[in-house]
Amino acid sequence: MAAQGEHSRFILKAMTCSAGIFLVAGAAMTLLDTHLDLTLLADTTSRLLRFRDWLLLETPMPNWSLLMIIAILISTLSAAICYARITDGTYSELHEIERKVYKKNNPQFPQLTDDQTLLMEALAYHANFRKIANLNSICKLVSLSTLEVEAGLKQLQAKRLVRQKVTRGTFGATIFELTLAGKDYALERFDLT
């Protein structure tokens, strides 16, 4: 509603400015004609008189009405372009707000507790720097006890965000890594630069 009021004020200003220009030009020419004798003014006056005569010519469609139709078409096109540019930004902002509200109300990923979020961030850190994430390195990074980290990792495994790999052999170890869903979650939620 407010945008419509702004458009009508814009059109009113444009019409007022153009009428004012014609009035000032006419008054200036009249003053110059009475007080100064200029050849340029005489040329301008003669051209304006010829233009007036051309507008008043008797043709199947008077020339003045043709010019009015052209002026109306140009002003309508200008108003349409102006309106399209103004509303384009409004609709894109509205779309962005709707997208944020939709993502908040329909989360793509499960809701995580603070400890689980901290563990996901630690695993994303390990993945970003291509480090092996074992239980000790995660505990050092998040400053949680081993039991809390184990419980949190099991909950993340149940949500299919983390997987556990056990290596066999002389130097066997248990390592944790993000699944594809976990990587997507980390890319969306954390700044990994």
Enumerate domains of the chain plus CATH numbers: 2-105 (no CATH), 114-189 (1.10.10.10)
Q: Computed from CA positions of residues 30, 31, 37, 40, in that sequence, does the dihedral angle turn out positive or negative?
A: negative
Residue pointed to by tokens 């110059």: 32
Task: Say if residue 74's pLDDT is above 90.
Answer: yes
Crossing angle of the two packed helices 39-55 and 2-35, in degrees rounded to 10: 130
Q: What is the dihedral of CA 126, 130, 132, 135, to 10 degrees?
A: 0
Task: Say if residue 61's pLDDT is above 80.
Answer: no
Task: Say if residue 83's pLDDT is above 90.
Answer: no
Q: For a pLDDT cut of 90, what percent of the chain falls above it?
A: 12
CA distances from 67 to 45, 49, 83, 92, 193 (A): 20, 16, 24, 38, 62
DSSP assigned state of 133? -
Three-state secondary-structure class, residue 61 = coil
Give the lowest-confidence range in 14-28, 81-95, 167-181: 81-95
* pLDDT score, position 93: 75
| Predicted structure pTM score | 0.44
